[in-house]
Amino acid sequence: MNKGTKTEVTEQLHRYNRNVRICHWINVVAFCYLVVSGVHIFLDFPELYWGKVGFRGYDAVFRLSDWGISWDEAGAMGNRRWGRNYHFLFAWISVINGTIYVGWNLWNKYFHKNLFLGRNELSWQSLKTDFVDHVRLRVSKGASVGRYSGLQKISYLIVIFILSPFMILSGLAQMPAFTAISPELIDLFGGRQTARTLHVICMLWMILFLVVHVVEVFVAGAVNEIRSMITGKYVVPKENAE
Amino acid sequence: MKNPVSRREFLAGAGAIGSLMLVGCDANAYLPPKVRGGLMGVSDVLTMATQRLMLSGQPLAQEHDVSEITKNFPTWGNTNPRQEDFQRLLSGEFVDWRLPVNGLVNRPISLSLEDLKRLPQRTQITMHICEQGWSAIGQWTGAPLLEVLRAAGGVADDARYVVVDTFDGWYESYDMFDVVHPQTILAYGLNGKDLPLGNGAPVRLRVERACGYKNLKFLKSINVVSSMEGIRGGTGGINSDSNWHWYAGA
């Protein structure tokens, strides 16, 4: 009806607790550094293998040279000293930050209220509706504003409780010290090179999540969304008529 | 060399448990010779202390089955030092090669390849992990570093690092935690044959549990010291001198 006009402010809600907001932005910085430093390390040896061993000349499952970037070109782009230094530094920051985030929000039941799924949200029909809404970039309105949909909850839970631990473990499984600390961990992944390859695949999965996450922020209104992650205040737009 | 006897006893007589307890209680096992400034130093110490804590029982690195040995073990980095002294030894098939063991040892010695082979021997099939990303499995045969120090009469009480120099100008230091580990060997054999030139002939260091850059090739000399201060860059190794982690377990 009054579609062209500015949405009126009807209500503000407090969306994220301080812990979530601080951890979120630390994680933004850490994640960026981890990806960039990881790419630097990778460029110094731009092939991926399956199993325990892998080296130049061995059967690779991925070669950057097949994509038009030679070893020398990749090596010139990557700096593994810088990469290793920052990768381990931000791995620590990320692990400490993530532990505080998960511990704090399990303790104060933030996860129970906001991330864990109710029985009705787990229904096939509700997830299907969610999915269609997301694909059509339809934003939630009215009562459901400020609450995660079932699909969002599942995505966050996967990132927090599956992909992040997987990243840590597949990283540890590449470290020489773990051949003595826990060879079982390396064997669990099917060998050191498999762990390295899965580390990269898991990273790509996380980046896919990040892309969708950022797109959703813009679809839902970047200013409002980003402000709510800084100050906690989220402005609920007046329900528009369809 | 204060109280050389007690340290000698530790190296010569004490069983694994005694020496490990001595090392395990040593706070030095959790710190590099020189901690870097800023956050990077914090990260280094976190990594080293955590791993050393998890390794405090000195477990062996995983040893693999003969069937898993990598045929044609890859070579990387320098495969033939051009230095004149090395080339001379190479052309004489290393008959004249000598490994001086100096510094805070009770009886400085110089070992020939034959001397080294006469020492107690250890063969291990382990994975070499390069910091670049590649890995390969080799069967290494050599003399434990501990046996070499024992042949030199053991070390003095204040000995803290073993400094290894190579013919191509590299050097690294190893603290007693890694030195006493049974898998830390001076390897002269790979896959049942003499160590090939490209893999570090005549003798290379195997420090399982550490990245490739700590596993030096083309060994030239061994020096036992109490501190890395004043030795080249003072950080404890050619890699840490150019801002790598000194500790290479990650």
How confident is the model over B5-32, as pLDDT tens digits? 444 444 444 443 344 445 545 678 999 9
A157-184 mean pLDDT = 98
Contacts 24+ apart (CB under 8 A), B43-52: B43/A85, B43/A88, B43/A89, B43/A92, B44/B245, B44/B246, B44/B247, B46/A92, B47/A88, B47/A92, B47/B245, B47/B247, B47/B249, B47/B250, B48/B247, B48/B249, B51/A175, B51/A177, B51/A181, B51/B247, B51/B249, B51/B250, B52/B177, B52/B249
pLDDT at A6: 53
Chain B hits for A85, Cβ within 8 Å: 40, 43, 243-245
Digit-coded pLDDT (tens) for B186-232: 999 999 999 999 999 999 999 999 999 999 999 999 999 999 999 99
3-state secondary structure of A193: helix
Instruction: Please give the Cα distance from A141 to A51 (Å, whole number).
Output: 49
Domains of chain B: 4-241 (3.90.420.10)
Which has more confidence, B103 or A147? B103
pLDDT at B23: 52
Best to test chain B binding among A50, A58, A62, A175 (most B CBs inside 10 Å): A175
Chain B hits for A179, Cβ within 8 Å: 61-62, 126-127, 129, 208-209
B87-96 mean pLDDT = 97
pLDDT band with cut points at 50, 70 and 90 for residue A12 = confident
In a domain, residue A21? The reply is no
B178-189 mean pLDDT = 98
Percentages of chain A per state (helix, strand, coil), in multiples of 5 = 65, 5, 25
Q: What is the mean pLDDT of chain B?
A: 91
Contact by Cβ (8 Å): A12, A238: no
User: Distance, in angstroms, between B132 CA and closest chain A CA?
Assistant: 6
pLDDT band with cut points at 50, 70 and 90 for residue A238 = low
In a domain, residue A1? The reply is no
Q: What is the mean pLDDT of chain A?
A: 90
pLDDT band with cut points at 50, 70 and 90 for residue A137 = confident
Cβ contact A176–B244 (<8 Å): no
In a domain, residue A139? The reply is yes
Cβ contact A176–B39 (<8 Å): no
In a domain, residue A164? The reply is yes
Chain B hits for A59, Cβ within 8 Å: none
Cβ contact B134–A54 (<8 Å): yes
Percent of chain A with pLDDT over 90: 72
* Closest alpha carbon within chain A to B48: A177
In a domain, residue A136? The reply is yes
A120-124 mean pLDDT = 83
| Residue A193: domain span | 115-221
- pLDDT surpasses 70 at A5: no
- pLDDT surpasses 70 at A114: yes
pLDDT at A15: 85
Digit-coded pLDDT (tens) for A37-80: 999 999 999 999 999 999 999 999 999 999 999 999 999 999 99
- pLDDT surpasses 50 at B140: yes
User: Distance, in angstroms, between B155 CA and closest chain A CA?
Assistant: 26
pLDDT band with cut points at 50, 70 and 90 for residue A159 = very high
In a domain, residue A58? The reply is no
Cβ contact B127–A53 (<8 Å): yes
| Residue B111 dihedral angles phi and psi, to the nearest 5° | -100, 135
Contact by Cβ (8 Å): A55, B134: yes
Percent of chain B with pLDDT over 90: 88
Cβ contact B245–A85 (<8 Å): yes
Contact by Cβ (8 Å): B233, B172: no
Instruction: Please give the Cα distance from A108 to B130 (Å, whole number).
Output: 44
Contact by Cβ (8 Å): B139, B95: no
- pLDDT surpasses 70 at A135: yes
In a domain, residue A152? The reply is yes
Digit-coded pLDDT (tens) for B52-90: 999 999 999 999 999 999 999 999 899 999 999 999 999
A205-232 mean pLDDT = 93
| Residue A115 dihedral angles phi and psi, to the nearest 5° | -115, -35
- pLDDT surpasses 90 at B240: yes
A117-146 mean pLDDT = 79
Identity (one letter) of the amino acid at A167? M
Chain B hits for A189, Cβ within 8 Å: none
In a domain, residue A40? The reply is no
Handedness of CA A99, A100, A103, A105 (dihedral sign): negative
User: Distance, in angstroms, between B62 CA and closest chain A CA?
Assistant: 5
pLDDT band with cut points at 50, 70 and 90 for residue A8 = low
Number of domains, chain A? 1
User: Distance, in angstroms, between A62 CA and closest chain B CA?
Assistant: 13
- pLDDT surpasses 80 at B135: yes
